Amino acid sequence: KQLLNVKNLYVDVEEKQILHGVDLSIGKGETHVLMGPNGTGKSTLGYALMGNPRYTIKSGEIWFQGKNITEAPVNERAKAGIFLSFQNPLEVPGVTLSSFIRNALEQKTGKRQRLYDFKKELERTMEILQMDPSYAERDLNVGFSGGEKKKAEILQLLMLKPSLAILDETDSGLDVDAVRTVSAGIEEYQKNCKGSLLIITHSTKILESLSVDHTHVMVEGKIIQTGDASLVEEINRNGFAKYEKTEQNQ
Ligand code: ADP
Ligand code: MG
Ligand code: MG
């Protein structure tokens, strides 16, 4: 059963066509990895799936849980269960990490969250991510290190329990310990939330403890190869050279 169906998607950014016909299907509970050279449109796909208005869908369709959401605004997609963790998380002065997550949870569920229960759950989850509890009352991402920002993103993921999480280079710039902790957080999401994942990454470190169902390679705004978990290893060894346009390959 498919959770997400992307059909022949064309996306423009600032009048420039970036995605040229992307097809992608993600089933319930599946983990997909998206790899590709820099500037090839991976983040663009993430933003387009989330409904960022700067990314204009020129043609094609996005279906989620059996509904056509191609035109749906960001908040509707979040409510439906799509989550995007950013490559560069924003700093939000004046809003604590705790209140930000509680508010997002109330928006998503349409229900008030009892403060006591919420705080208990937040504390338990921060422990998994080895985050000091004091971070809950700090302004969102303000003065957080790169690693702390990424952990805060995973904390949101585990608290919001979306049905599809798109993680855009959540592992970039992290030291080995932080990668391991973030990876443990993602594993918790796989196992306990039974969520689907689209992991955009350049490294295999974050994938070591995760089970990967499918790997996709995007080059110049198109998914040009799909394989199983072993494709990650192959790309790690050989890079993207074989996909590059050379005289022989053309
Ligand atoms: P990737 O994530 O694969 O590195 P991106 O999706 O970030 O690639 O970028 C694809 C192309 O789109 C790049 O040429 C980039 O410069 C361009 N692009 C992405 N976002 C914007 C934006 N907001 N404004 C202008 N150009 C953009
Ligand atoms: Mg499958
Ligand atoms: Mg990117």
- CB of 39 closer than 6 angstroms to any ligand 1 atom: yes
Q: What is this structure's pTM?
A: 0.93
Which ligand is in closest contact with the Cα of 56?
1
The confidence band for 203, taking pLDDT boundaries of 50, 70 and 90, is confident
> Phi/psi of residue 27, each to 5°?
-85, 165
**Residue 7: what are its φ and ψ, rounded to 5°?**
-120, 110
SS3 3: strand
Ligand 1 atom 11: residue of nearest CA: 39
219 in ligand 1 pocket by Cβ < 6 Å? no
Please give the average per-residue pLDDT across 50-55, as a whole number.
Answer: 96
Q: What is the pLDDT of residue 21?
A: 97
- Residue 192 CA, ligand 2 centroid: distance in Å: 20
2-243 CATH fold: Rossmann fold (3.40.50)
68-113 confidence digits (pLDDT tens): 999 999 999 999 999 999 777 889 999 999 999 999 999 988 999 8
The reply to whether ipTM tops 0.90 is yes
Distance 129 CA to ligand 2 centre (A): 29
Average pLDDT, the chain: 93
Extents of the domains making up the chain: 2-243
Write the residue with the smallest CA distance to atom 6 of ligand 1.
Answer: 41
Angle at 24 between CA 19 and CA 29, to 5 degrees: 140
Q: Is the pLDDT of residue 231 over 60?
A: yes
Residue 89 alpha carbon to ligand 3 centre in Å: 13
